[in-house]
């Protein structure tokens, strides 16, 4: 086999269509699946003819700015033929007048991009940040005056300006995204990335008629002492998300120092949390859930307690960093140990599972495996799915809930009624119970209109065979109203706080018990 044939073989092992482009953007060589991928491309034709017009400008910019010896891609693109493809480009040092390109079929659907710039959305950039390496950095830029400039320029000129920004940034690193209306980011090399980004944006703004605008920029290194690759990329995602939400502002503040300090604080907090979860250094307290008609304790809910005294904030932090599945698994193991160890006095216990865990098969797998091995305890355990992290993949969540119920576990929705998606959840998922959010229960008896709406939801659940729980019941009047509305069970100060490290023996709770304020988990 000749050297040329061997190299072609290697190339086709990783791509469906190969083509080489000269400095003028003309195809000088092509081979592969020409008919379906390349729409009949031939040597001498313009390479941009391969692509949908929306991507052609991006390709030209990449071609002109690709340094010798460097690679770009894989980049998702749409072809003129109508299909989607993945593009990679490389400028060989021995032949830097030409650029070698490959196209591979798929994916079936491109991720949504920012319509105005063609860049990744915030979520797309977050995904790219999760794939970054230690040698990469997040080059971030905020242009506070961009919105005013766009309004001043008018639609045609502003559309052109945003497209130019998108085209320029797309060739600067592994990924580029529009994080918010005025904020942009690039996953770039750690050396000089911030300076290149600022220079590029300034030039595009000036050429596009926006004039000289103030720019706030910073470079966030992804290096982190004593962190694994997974922990470092989780930190990167967290920082990008903070930047996207506008919680970090420029002005007189040195953005680089702010980000640097935040990276340090986040790394320390993440390391502490992962150690806490891995070593099981948290406790569970138990709060009674009572059958309203009889006053008997139905079961207990296991609530998490940390040394810092703020379980809600800590758990939300775990969700933001994408490690809620590990925490959910740790909680489940603690509850199972209590039940198997005989310290639960024989009563049923409910524990929480985050929406992130349920709707992501990769996250759900370990928890499902544990519970499958412990299905003999299914009559003793209830699972409450929290809406703190909104469920985004209904089909995956439906399968996960179905799997848990098939094992015999009772599954319910926590925080019901607080979010706009609650009714959608009830329609999409078959569950055994729902726990109404405390924000609704605190106000019962104060508004006849609100009470009627709440009663209607309770009746709807009853018609569907779904039991209802009212949480945050604190007064006798609230308990009486909840009972009259048709709620099956109640939870809150009136019946007792979560103070015991093991569930107490089952008792009747006709009288109020005093205790501390319970947490949401």
Contacts of 252 (CB under 8 A, 6+ apart): none
Superfamily of domain 280-491: EAL domain (3.20.20.450)
Phi, then psi, of 410 in degrees rounded to 5: -85, 130
* CA-based nearest residue to 171, from 75, 96, 91: 75
In angstroms, the CA 387 to CA 440 distance is 15
In angstroms, the CA 112 to CA 74 distance is 17
Per-residue tens of pLDDT for the chain, all 521 residues: 565 555 666 666 667 788 899 988 899 888 876 556 666 678 888 888 888 876 777 788 778 877 787 777 677 777 887 777 888 888 887 777 888 888 887 654 445 678 888 888 877 787 777 666 667 777 888 888 898 888 888 888 888 899 889 888 887 777 888 888 888 988 876 655 445 777 888 889 988 888 888 888 777 776 655 555 655 665 666 677 677 767 665 443 443 454 555 556 666 766 777 777 777 778 889 999 999 999 999 999 999 887 765 666 677 767 666 667 888 888 999 999 999 988 777 889 999 998 888 888 877 888 898 999 999 999 999 999 986 556 777 888 999 999 999 999 999 999 887 655 577 788 889 999 999 988 889 888 888 888 888 999 999 999 999 999 999 999 999 999 999 999 999 999 999 888 776 676 655 554 444 433 333 33
Q: Strand 297-305 to strand 84-90: parallel, antiparallel, or no bridges (unpaired)?
A: unpaired
Contacts of 153 (CB under 8 A, 6+ apart): 161, 208, 209, 210
In angstroms, the CA 128 to CA 412 distance is 34
* Tokens 């939870």 found at: 491
3-state secondary structure of 417: coil
Q: Which CATH code fits 3-105?
A: 3.30.450.20
Q: Report the pLDDT value the prediction gives residue 309, as an integer from 0 to 100.
A: 57
In angstroms, the CA 310 to CA 321 distance is 17
How far does Cα 186 stand from its chain's mean position?
19
3-state secondary structure of 415: strand
Phi, then psi, of 157 in degrees rounded to 5: -70, -35
Task: Look up the pTM and report it.
Answer: 0.53
Q: Which fold has domain 122-271?
A: Alpha-Beta Plaits (3.30.70)
Q: Report the pLDDT value the prediction gives residue 302, as an integer from 0 to 100.
A: 94
Q: What residue segments make up the domains of the chain, in order of their start?
A: 3-105, 122-271, 280-491
Q: Quick check: 99 and 18 in contact, CB under 8 A?
A: no
Terminal alpha carbon distance of the chain: 65
- The CA-based angle 158-160-163, given to 5 degrees, is 110
How does DSSP classify residue 87?
Answer: E
3-state secondary structure of 298: strand
């Amino acid at each position: 086999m000749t050297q040329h044939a061997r190299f072609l073989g290697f190339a086709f092992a990783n791509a469906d269509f190969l083509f080489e482009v000269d400095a003028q953007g003309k195809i000088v060589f092509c081979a592969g699946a020409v008919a379906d991928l390349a729409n009949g491309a031939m040597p001498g034709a313009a390479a941009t003819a391969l692509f949908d017009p929306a991507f052609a400008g991006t390709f030209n910019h990449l071609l002109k700015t690709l340094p010798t010896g460097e690679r770009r891609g894989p980049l998702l693109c749409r072809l003129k033929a109508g299909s989607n493809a993945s593009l990679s480009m490389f400028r060989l040092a021995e032949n830097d007048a030409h650029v070698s390109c490959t196209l591979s079929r798929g994916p079936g659907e491109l991720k949504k991009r920012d319509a105005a710039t063609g860049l990744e959305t915030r979520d797309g950039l977050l995904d790219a940040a999760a794939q970054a390496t230690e040698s990469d950095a997040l080059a971030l830029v905020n242009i506070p005056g961009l919105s005013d400039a766009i309004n001043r320029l008018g639609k045609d000129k502003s559309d052109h300006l945003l497209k130019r920004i998108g085209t320029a940034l797309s060739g600067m690193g592994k990924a580029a995204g529009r994080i918010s209306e005025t904020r942009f980011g690039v996953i770039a090399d750690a050396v000089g990335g911030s300076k290149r980004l600022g220079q590029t944006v300034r030039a595009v703004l000036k050429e596009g008629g926006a004039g000289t605008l103030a720019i706030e920029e910073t470079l966030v290194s992804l290096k982190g002492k004593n962190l694994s690759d997974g922990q470092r990329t989780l930190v990167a995602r967290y920082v990008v998300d903070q930047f996207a939400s506008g919680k970090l502002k420029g002005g007189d503040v040195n953005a680089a120092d702010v980000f640097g300090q935040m990276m340090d604080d986040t790394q320390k907090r993440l390391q502490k949390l992962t150690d806490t979860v891995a070593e099981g250094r948290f406790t569970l307290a138990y709060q009674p859930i009572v059958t309203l008609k009889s006053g008997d304790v139905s079961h207990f809910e296991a609530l998490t307690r940390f040394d810092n005294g703020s379980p809600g904030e800590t758990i939300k932090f775990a969700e933001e960093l994408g490690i809620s599945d590990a925490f959910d698994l740790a909680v489940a193991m603690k509850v199972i140990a209590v039940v198997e160890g005989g310290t639960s006095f024989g009563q049923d216990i409910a524990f929480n599972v985050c929406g992130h865990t349920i709707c992501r098969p990769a996250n759900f797998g370990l928890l499902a495996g544990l519970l499958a091995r412990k299905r003999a305890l299914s009559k003793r355990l209830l699972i409450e799915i929290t809406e703190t992290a909104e469920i985004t993949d209904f089909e995956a969540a439906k399968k996960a809930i179905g799997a848990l119920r098939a094992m015999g576990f009772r599954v319910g929705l926590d925080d019901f009624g607080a979010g706009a998606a609650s009714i959608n959840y009830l329609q999409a998922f078959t569950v055994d119970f729902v726990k109404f959010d405390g924000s609704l229960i605190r106000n019962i008896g104060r508004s006849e209109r609100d009470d009627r709406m709440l009663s209607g939801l309770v009746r709807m659940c009853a018609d569907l065979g779904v039991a209802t729980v009212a949480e945050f019941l604190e007064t006798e009047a609230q308990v009486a109203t909840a009972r009259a509305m048709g709620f099956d069970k109640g939870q809150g100060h009136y019946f007792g706080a979560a103070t015991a490290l093991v569930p107490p023996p089952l008792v009747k709770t006709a009288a109020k018990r005093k205790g501390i304020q319970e947490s949401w988990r």
